[in-house]
Amino acid sequence: MDFTFTEEQQAAAEAARAALADVAVDGVPSPAVSNEPVAEDIDRELWQRLAKSDLTGLALAEEYGGSGLDPVAWCLVLREAARVLARVPLLETGAAALAVQRYGSAEQRRRLLPEVAAGRLLLGVAPHGRTGHEPADQAVRAEAGPGPDGGWLLHGTQTAVPYAPLMDRIVVPARSDLGTLLLLVDPHGPGVELRRQVTAHGEPAAEMVFDGARVEAAAVLGEPAPDGANWLHLRGLLIVGNAALCLGLGEQILRITADYTGKREQFGHPVATFQAVAMQAADRYVDLRAMEVTLWQAAWRIGLAEAGVAEEPGRIPLAADLATAKVWSAEGVRGIAATAQHLHGGMGADLDYPLHRYHAWAKHLELFLGPAPAYEQEVGDILAEHQL
């Protein structure tokens, strides 16, 4: 086996590090001091810098202004973004754009994707369903509109939609009599109500309430999927992207902790030399390596699916690798953040020290798309059906 990244993938990570080099982790108010968002907008300056570095359309085809790279390269960029708590929708816009590229019509791809690659169009995703504990494609009902080209009328609710008030279009999964639909919805259009929400890490979000919102047929991505495969693929992209964010965040938290415990002295010695401290840090390092290997396995396989490569007969389904990556990333980032707080003592809660910001981001990423136990059950169900 060769786990070495390609030159193109490594170049993408280096470009991301350069674009993110001067991001100030404490550039916005702390999420701990208010119930208000830390800022009313994303970091637009950073978003444009990423676009100029060809990173907003990294995984899009070159014909649409992208770089034509795979989900592994996209995840490498997300990993770098998490290390500096970059306040940009690289995950949401990247996943939504890949859904447009995979399921959209030629006209949709031609019209939307170059705008994403240029940093002029923000696409979001409604991933959490009505409560955050149910399939997202079961939360909104789509009914055929009147007339031969009446589009669809939407009824239902999607909660905790990231950056919803700031998005130009949001990919909303909805169920219909024909199967699951992916619809490009204007969050400020008629029949759509945005009820303000704030995420655990202080970012703006919204509960989207649909009361007869009309979506034109031209805004539907592909055909209805009776088995929901279109939403499951988009959800898979969100899972691997979120796992990449968890990995980058966890690595940075452990780096901060190693630096602190190496300098903090007790009884005349750095606390990092104490066995209890070193063993806890070592355990979290093992978690990082598990997070890493399960992420790249899932990202590699979903990249094959993006490229249209059929799964090998008898191989465990991609869904198992995705769920495994989600379990390890959620549990791993939670444990790393908790151990870091413990090893820092009271310093971890100091608002002039960055760790509490990373802890808030860790909690958000841990619960994004649902908690780990739900995915553990998913892995168990798959293994019961596809015995090794």
Per-residue pLDDT reduced to its tens digit, 218-239? 999 999 999 999 999 999 999 9
Q: For 22-42, what is the mean pLDDT?
A: 94
Q: Is 341 a residue whose pLDDT tops 70?
A: yes
Q: Which amino acid is at 23?
A: V
- For residue 332, the model assigns a pLDDT of 98
Coil/strand/helix, residue 365: helix
Q: Is 148 a residue whose pLDDT tops 80?
A: no
Q: How far is CA 8 from the centre of its chain?
A: 22
Please state, in angstroms and rounded to a whole number, the distance separating the CA atoms of residues 157 and 211.
9
- For residue 313, the model assigns a pLDDT of 82
Q: Is 21 a residue whose pLDDT tops 90?
A: yes
Percent of the chain with pLDDT over 70: 99
Q: For 187-206, what is the mean pLDDT?
A: 97
How many Å from the N-terminal Cα to the C-terminal Cα in the chain? 21
Residue 179 burial by Cβ neighbours in a 10 Å radius (0-12, 13-18, 19+): middle
> Rounded to 5 degrees, what are φ and ψ at 178?
-95, -10
Percent of the chain with pLDDT over 90: 86
Q: For 125-132, what is the mean pLDDT?
A: 94
DSSP state of 149: T
Residue pLDDT, tens place only, 110-122: 999 999 999 999 9
Angle between helices 229-263 and 275-306 (to 10 degrees): 150
- For residue 80, the model assigns a pLDDT of 98
Q: For 55-59, what is the mean pLDDT?
A: 96
Coil/strand/helix, residue 173: strand
- For residue 1, the model assigns a pLDDT of 54
Q: Dig out the tokens for 345 from the structure.
A: 């003592």
User: Which has the closest alpha carbon to 244: 315, 328, 308, 164?
Assistant: 328
- For residue 312, the model assigns a pLDDT of 83
- For residue 363, the model assigns a pLDDT of 97
- For residue 348, the model assigns a pLDDT of 86
- For residue 307, the model assigns a pLDDT of 86
- For residue 137, the model assigns a pLDDT of 94
Q: For 277-295, what is the mean pLDDT?
A: 95
Please state, in angstroms and rounded to a whole number, the distance separating the CA atoms of residues 41 and 35.
16
Q: Is 74 a residue whose pLDDT tops 90?
A: yes
- For residue 49, the model assigns a pLDDT of 97
Q: Across the chain, what does the average pLDDT equal?
A: 95
Angle between helices 372-385 and 318-344 (to 10 degrees): 150
Q: For 314-337, what is the mean pLDDT?
A: 96
Q: Dig out the tokens for 340 from the structure.
A: 């870091």
CB of 362 closer than 8 Å to CB of 251: no
Q: For 174-203, what is the mean pLDDT?
A: 97
Q: For 82-89, what is the mean pLDDT?
A: 98
DSSP string, 301-358: HHHHHHTTPPPPTTSPPHHHHHHHHHHHHHHHHHHHHHHHHHHHGGGGG-TTSTHHHH
